[in-house]
Structure 1
Amino acid sequence: MKRISVDIGGTFTDCFFVWDEQYVEAKALTTHHNLALGFNEALDLACSRAGLDRATVLSGVDSVRYATTLGTNALIERKGPKVAAIVTHGFEDTIPLSRGRGYGEGLDQSLQQNLPAAERPEPIVPRRLIRSVKERVNSAGEIVARLDPDDVRQVLRELVDAGAEAIVVSLVNATENPAHELAIQEIFLDEFPAHELGATPILLGHQVSGRKGEYVRSTSTIIDGFLHEIMFHALSQLSNNLRGSGYDKPMLVIHNSGGMAQMNSTDALQTIHSGPIAGVGAAEHLSGETGLGHVISTDMGGTSFDIGLVPEGGVKHYDFLPTIDRWLVSVPMVHLDTLGAGGGSIASYDRIHHSIKIGPESAGSNPGPACYDRGGLRPTVTDADLLLGYLDPDNYANGYIKLNPRRARFAMEEALCDPLDLDVLDVARSIKDGVDEQMAIGIGKELRVRGYLPEDFTMLAYGGNGPLHACGIARHAGISRVLAPPFSSVFSACGAGNMKQLHFHERGVHVTLYNATTRRLYDDYAEFNAVVEELESAGREDLIRQGFTADQVRYRLELDMRYGNQLLTQAVTVEDLDRVRGVGDVLHIIKKFGDVYSHRFGASSAAPEAGIRCNTIRVAAYVAGDVVEFASLDSGGPRTVPEPVSRREVVFIGIEGHIDTPVYDETALEPDRVIPGPAIVTTQNTTFLVEPGWRLEPTQQGAVWFLTD
């Protein structure tokens, strides 16, 4: 296996490089003006560590996988084309009204509780660029009012004259019958051919989302249209960069559904949060191979802290109506909770509470934390870590970045010490403890809202800052087992290397598996199987277009189910069925749903007497491939304490004064060693902080256990 996997974050670009049996990790600062430059720098570093040159590697690898936060950043900054929307006549205000909830979606809980003070997000499609066409399709897919081509031409001309750079079409009940959306697309291409108007994209709602619900399907298509041009040019730039360096295969893009595809089979919407979700995929793979049990994955990078949940058995949680930025969308996305807490998170003075506020604003890679000495003037979490003695100024990121403690001290004094009337170390302590507590609260909330207890989980701490803050986060969260996984500093990039080429296709349905009123089981098997066959066919065509044969494609059936009229919908994976052929299969699905529901909410919570419904049928079409093999996490036998390479005065939370602390290098992370706290281990790509009361037990492939004494 020869493979390059890249995760481009807000601060660092992570590279995981596989060359036969050799695994190499490397990092470089993200170059936001041209992502290819940061990619090249990280790849060159990985190649040099492997003793190879870039041209040899790119001409020899089987694939390059790419995950990015570019789409997320573009939404935050509102940098994109002018998008227009075409809707069914009478539904012109569906998008602006946003179900009457648009002012609250995407806000944290504290802001949602103060809705009178909440502000609606700046619309991506302003009201003046929303037009309607006279047409109507009913809920059964029957055409009630036919589309008028002349009306469509007039609407298209008005939008083009108004400066529309992307056009979104989202008509009522188009998922049941897309004929009118397809007709509008045909008229547009006839009226404004590409050689006259240029490459103005027109996106159809039923192609972006197959589920019912006009509003969420419209917002999904609008975001896709808004990001389309940005992602196309950025990914094309990277693709051209690869091609110019000798790579002649299609570039693969990681999807937030937990899979990947070639660029020509990727919607811009599918790239949102793709990097952190690759980390959740790696956690799932590690858990399955090593029998870790319940796992909570935590990725602490320079900009954010991402929390993913992998219960025992490797079943990921999905969001089927996730919120992206401030918009509710309708795409199946691996569940991820993101906090604005990373190494670059800015610490500021909160005048109201006379305290320190950490994040969500980040210093990013440019200018970066004050200690980077690149023009940053505001204190960050990394500045606090440096002043507390956790980081080596001359050996940060393998010496790639030289840290300046005086800059960190100056920034902290100016912004925080004076208004709080505290010395620098007290402020640094507050920042370190505050950010650890903030992340622990996020973990606790994520687990308890889904019916789990933190003490039942192993915490995976990865990302550039994960092992540095692991003990502090676990202490606040009540977790006693923490694992820094193999290749922890680039674990999300490693996860990208394990992804399958996969496509989800779904369709909203009204299937009553058990009718509580008539006490009858569902028996229209042909209707159900026809939908499954249609979705399998769409997924098969996607993968055949990418060079696979039909017999290589595998399928996984998933159903969104609920009891009666409950709002809560539970996804159920039915891997042992591909069709419903009789009463026994219906009962099997019902039992599967009951088991999943009871496991999550308790045995007494199931309510089959209310009826059982299926709202969505989803098929995952995928092709399995080679994956990175993780070594065992068990290492029996006696352990010895290694000799430190130096000692350093370090400040720990809850302990007065400085502590003379042993410092180790990566040679101390051998499987037969144990490192009691307090201690610091500095490696090429990250720093392990062992707080008092903890010990470090290394295993294979650089994986390290943090355990309480």
Structure 2
Amino acid sequence: MSETGSAYRLGCDVGGTFTDFVLYDEQSGAIHVEKCLTTPADPSVGILEGLESFRSVDPEHVARTRRIAHATTLVANAVIERKGACTALLTTRGFRDVLELRRHVRVTTYELWADPPVPLVPRHLRIPIDERIYSDGSVLRPVQPEEMEAAVASMRAQGVDSVAIAFLHSYVNPKNEQEAARLVRELAPGIAVTTSSEVLPQIKEYERTSTTVVNAYVKPLVQRYLGNLDSGLARFGYAAPLRVMLSNGGLGSVETAADFPLRLIESGPVAGAIVGRQIAHALELPEVLSFDMGGTTAKACLIRGGAMPITEELEVARSRRFTRSSGFPVAVPAVNMIEIGAGGGSIAEINAMGLVQVGPESAGADPGPICYGRGGTRPTVTDADLLLGYLNPDNFAGGSMRLDEEAARAGIEEHLARPRGQSALDAAWTVHDVVNETMAAAVRMHVTERGGNPRQATLVAFGGAGPLHACQLAAKLRIGRVMVPLRAGVLSALGLLIAPPAYDIVRTHKVPLRQLDAPATGALMEEMAGTVASLLERLDSEGDLRFRRALDVGYIGQSYQVTVPLDGAVDREEIWQRFAALYREKYGYFYDDVPAEVVNLRVLGELVGGELALEPLPPGGTAVPDGSRPAWSVRERGMRPFSVFDRNRLGPGATFEGPAIVEEASATTIVDDGAKVEVDAYGSLVIAVDLEDTP
């Protein structure tokens, strides 16, 4: 890196429709943004093409970039679309069908034919191995080399690319799994190997097996993708190491992502929520509802007390939207958020009942909405927003694309308006309103499940389509305050520059709380912290290492637990009191006469201090519109003039009222009638939504 001139950080967020880039100049504090269409066949191609645009910012930025962070939806999409590797499962004899037996829980209680998704590994590729380890870790039957040779020969004959190994009680003693993995690598070096004792050394056979299978299913795909991207960046001249956003909200190495790709399952959505947390912390907001609406999906996350909500109840590829137990469990720590099949590219159609349905199918980046002029023929949310006057056809994505309004109108008339006897404008408003109602229903459920109240939260809206829909979504949720941060359309990419390097480990340590050996448990957690520290120190040399420890505690005999934070030394009485408080808060009651047990130990390590902090802007700003254009008014149920503002000219202190449209290179914000806007010290649009006249 040059000793003079600027040093840069680069963030890149690959979405289903657009790929967003942020280049941060550490010396001047300047932030440069770019946006380009995603290349679904190989997202690394679109990334490398998009990076070319930064040469105009600084021709030498490649050599001066010292950190590259990346987020992707590749893993989740591969599982949903079933585009992973041909995968086999080696399992203890007698447990071949655990993937289909699941938890013996129906997807929906009263529907006999509502089935979960078909297992990623078909039955003929689930190979039983005659081995056994007791629950105390002692070996009853070791792995036999002859049996493994036959299993590997069968896998090779059937074209297996990846294998998951999940033996009974391997979380206590991984010896048999390790031996099986060694033999597979020796006999078939071309087959990728995943063991449950490395991926998820925790109790619960089905969840551990499912998580291991998902990891194995996407492992070859992710390894190829990251390899192509890493080598492409090197050919480009970048010497900075590539970092990847993990589902827990921290950055990890390429090696971690390649070995444990399931940790990327929420990689894309979580980056934006990190900025929501940063805003909540900077402005001391007790509750923030981050809302990220892009081209393919919308994501929402309730952030309370400035802490990211973490869950291990993540599911992917659900057969029923928003329905628990209808997908594949992925029991790794991930930010607790809801993902909705509603974005700018979501396709609108008339369903069997004659009603307009929007999503979850999306036009994506290829062919995209009709108005993109890239071959799309089915109307989308973006087409409807264009007809409603919310989007400027000559200034979309910073002027890099021109939208075809007449083509969008023709598509909406053909597929929606004429079949329903509506005008094209009324049909467009129906699409806009339906997608808002779909998102509101999902967000309301997410907030309620977490014990929150939407009315008490501040809605922080971002993503390419989020600010456009935020006011109407807030009105439906009865949220009175909306914030649209600067560079809202690429905020997830900016979140990559804010996120700290982080890694977590969870291990099963099942013991009654009254019999817990505090010194031994503390020593075990110190050992876990040492493992995390060694990984993070190899990842980055900047920042101070900080640990957070916790235990999963539940009543003896229960199959679920609550996570109890541990601030100091392990103390049985303190753990019991905290467990009581958390259990009562979550369930409304507590049994003080029923014994509890510790099930899992948790250690999260973060390197803090090296991340980017949000800085206030110089005060002073006025709101002078650049003009006006007709757009749909919710209050008047028709078109009326909206003032149009350039976001770049709205400094801190500027105020104005709706109806208004605020345009910037990466997003458009719609301010409804009656709403009032003030630009805060960080350049965010703070919108007071008029709830009195909301329909």
TM-score of the pair, normalised by structure 2: 0.92
Gaps of 5+ in 1: 105-111, 514-520
Secondary structure at 2:63 match in 1: helix
Q: Contact 1:486/1:703 (CA < 8 Å) preserved in 2?
A: yes
User: 1, 5, 28: which one pairs with 2:11?
Assistant: 5
CA distance, structure 2, for counterparts of residue 336 and residue 113 of structure 1: 24
CA distance, structure 1, for counterparts of residue 14 and residue 487 of structure 2: 16
| CA deviation after TM superposition for structure 1 residue 414, in Å | 1.1
Decide whether aligned partners of structure 1 residues 438 and 294 sit closer, same or farther in structure 2, where only a CA change above 3 A counts: same
User: 77, 94, 98: which one pairs with 1:94?
Assistant: 98
Q: Contact 1:648/1:662 (CA < 8 Å) preserved in 2?
A: yes
Range 455-464 or range 692-701, more displaced: 692-701
Range 114-123 or range 441-450, more displaced: 114-123
Q: Which contiguous aligned blocks of 4+ residues in structure 1 show a shift greater than 6 angstroms? A: none
Deviation by residue 1:191-250 (Cα, 9 ceiling, x = unmatched): 33x3xxxx3211111100011112111111111111111111111111111101111232
* Other-structure match for 1:85: 89
User: 147, 152, 160: which one pairs with 1:151?
Assistant: 147
Deviation by residue 1:235-289 (Cα, 9 ceiling, x = unmatched): 1111111101111232111110111211112211111121111111222222122
CA distance, structure 2, for counterparts of residue 257 and residue 66 of structure 1: 14
* Other-structure match for 1:651: 632
| CA deviation after TM superposition for structure 1 residue 652, in Å | 1.7
User: 87, 111, 115: which one pairs with 1:115?
Assistant: 111
**Residue 175 of structure 1 aligns to which amino acid in structure 2?**
Y
1:358-397 matches, within 5 Å, as 358-397=358-397
| CA deviation after TM superposition for structure 1 residue 97, in Å | 2.1
1:629 and 2:625 equivalent? Answer: no
* Other-structure match for 2:322: none
CA RMSD of aligned residues (A): 2.2
CA distance, structure 2, for counterparts of residue 649 and residue 546 of structure 1: 52
Deviation by residue 1:98-136 (Cα, 9 ceiling, x = unmatched): 2334x73xxxxxxx3553232442321110011111111
Q: Contact 1:488/1:703 (CA < 8 Å) preserved in 2?
A: no
**Residue 95 of structure 1 aligns to which amino acid in structure 2?**
L
CA distance, structure 2, for counterparts of residue 77 and residue 123 of structure 1: 13
1:182-201 matches, within 5 Å, as 182-192=178-188, 194=189, 199-201=190-192
1:177 and 2:173 equivalent? Answer: yes
CA distance, structure 2, for counterparts of residue 523 and residue 124 of structure 1: 39
1:572 and 2:558 equivalent? Answer: no
CA distance, structure 1, for counterparts of residue 84 and residue 43 of structure 2: 17
Deviation by residue 1:598-624 (Cα, 9 ceiling, x = unmatched): 45555xx33333333322111112322
1:228 and 2:219 equivalent? Answer: yes
Secondary structure at 2:415 match in 1: helix
* Other-structure match for 2:4: none
* Other-structure match for 1:264: 255
**Residue 590 of structure 1 aligns to which amino acid in structure 2?**
W
| CA deviation after TM superposition for structure 1 residue 568, in Å | 4.6
| CA deviation after TM superposition for structure 1 residue 625, in Å | 4.0
CA distance, structure 1, for counterparts of residue 485 and residue 398 of structure 2: 19
Decide whether aligned partners of structure 1 residues 696 and 684 sit closer, same or farther in structure 2, where only a CA change above 3 A counts: same
User: 19, 28, 32: which one pairs with 2:40?
Assistant: 32
Range 356-365 or range 281-290, more displaced: 281-290
1:528-547 matches, within 5 Å, as 528-546=521-539
1:193-342 matches, within 5 Å, as 194=189, 199-266=190-257, 267-312=260-305, 314-325=306-317, 326-342=327-343
Q: Contact 1:15/1:46 (CA < 8 Å) preserved in 2?
A: no
Deviation by residue 1:647-675 (Cα, 9 ceiling, x = unmatched): 21111224233212211212442212112
Task: State, as a whole percentage, how many aligned pairs show the same letter.
Answer: 31
Range 83-92 or range 471-480, more displaced: 83-92
Secondary structure at 2:361 match in 1: strand
Decide whether aligned partners of structure 1 residues 45 and 674 sit closer, same or farther in structure 2, where only a CA change above 3 A counts: farther
Decide whether aligned partners of structure 1 residues 693 and 203 sit closer, same or farther in structure 2, where only a CA change above 3 A counts: same
TM-score of the pair, normalised by structure 1: 0.90
1:612 and 2:596 equivalent? Answer: yes
Secondary structure at 1:308 match in 2: strand
Gaps of 5+ in 2: 1-6, 318-326, 691-695
Secondary structure at 1:382 match in 2: helix
Q: Contact 2:655/2:678 (CA < 8 Å) preserved in 1?
A: yes
Decide whether aligned partners of structure 1 residues 127 and 667 sit closer, same or farther in structure 2, where only a CA change above 3 A counts: closer
* Other-structure match for 1:350: 351
User: 573, 577, 595: which one pairs with 1:587?
Assistant: 573
1:71 and 2:75 equivalent? Answer: yes
Deviation by residue 1:305-362 (Cα, 9 ceiling, x = unmatched): 10112102x222222131111211221111110000111111110122x210010011
Q: Contact 1:471/1:689 (CA < 8 Å) preserved in 2?
A: yes
Secondary structure at 1:365 match in 2: coil
Secondary structure at 2:593 match in 1: helix
CA distance, structure 2, for counterparts of residue 253 and residue 42 of structure 1: 18
**Residue 336 of structure 1 aligns to which amino acid in structure 2?**
M
Q: Contact 1:7/1:275 (CA < 8 Å) preserved in 2?
A: yes
Secondary structure at 2:364 match in 1: coil
Q: Contact 1:265/1:542 (CA < 8 Å) preserved in 2?
A: no
Q: Contact 2:72/2:268 (CA < 8 Å) preserved in 1?
A: yes
Q: How many residues get paired?
A: 671
| CA deviation after TM superposition for structure 1 residue 454, in Å | 1.0
**Residue 194 of structure 2 aligns to which amino acid in structure 1?**
L
Q: Contact 1:532/1:617 (CA < 8 Å) preserved in 2?
A: yes
User: 118, 138, 149: which one pairs with 1:142?
Assistant: 138
CA distance, structure 1, for counterparts of residue 669 and residue 281 of structure 2: 25
CA distance, structure 2, for counterparts of residue 511 and residue 280 of structure 1: 35
Q: Contact 1:95/1:219 (CA < 8 Å) preserved in 2?
A: yes
Q: Contact 1:487/1:702 (CA < 8 Å) preserved in 2?
A: no
Secondary structure at 1:658 match in 2: strand
| CA deviation after TM superposition for structure 1 residue 458, in Å | 0.7
CA distance, structure 1, for counterparts of residue 607 and residue 652 of structure 2: 35
**Residue 451 of structure 1 aligns to which amino acid in structure 2?**
G
User: 670, 691, 695: which one pairs with 2:672?
Assistant: 691
Q: Contact 1:429/1:653 (CA < 8 Å) preserved in 2?
A: no
**Residue 685 of structure 1 aligns to which amino acid in structure 2?**
S
| CA deviation after TM superposition for structure 1 residue 593, in Å | 3.2
**Residue 351 of structure 1 aligns to which amino acid in structure 2?**
A
CA distance, structure 2, for counterparts of residue 651 and residue 547 of structure 1: 50
**Residue 158 of structure 1 aligns to which amino acid in structure 2?**
S
**Residue 166 of structure 1 aligns to which amino acid in structure 2?**
S
| CA deviation after TM superposition for structure 1 residue 533, in Å | 3.0
| CA deviation after TM superposition for structure 1 residue 6, in Å | 0.9
Decide whether aligned partners of structure 1 residues 291 and 76 sit closer, same or farther in structure 2, where only a CA change above 3 A counts: same
Deviation by residue 1:84-109 (Cα, 9 ceiling, x = unmatched): 111111111212322334x73xxxxx
* Other-structure match for 1:19: 25
**Residue 422 of structure 1 aligns to which amino acid in structure 2?**
Q
Q: Contact 1:346/1:379 (CA < 8 Å) preserved in 2?
A: yes
Secondary structure at 1:401 match in 2: coil
Secondary structure at 1:154 match in 2: helix
Q: Contact 2:247/2:264 (CA < 8 Å) preserved in 1?
A: yes
| CA deviation after TM superposition for structure 1 residue 297, in Å | 0.7
Range 74-83 or range 609-618, more displaced: 609-618
Decide whether aligned partners of structure 1 residues 140 and 548 sit closer, same or farther in structure 2, where only a CA change above 3 A counts: farther
Range 531-540 or range 373-382, more displaced: 531-540
* Other-structure match for 2:548: 556
| CA deviation after TM superposition for structure 1 residue 46, in Å | 4.5
* Other-structure match for 1:108: none
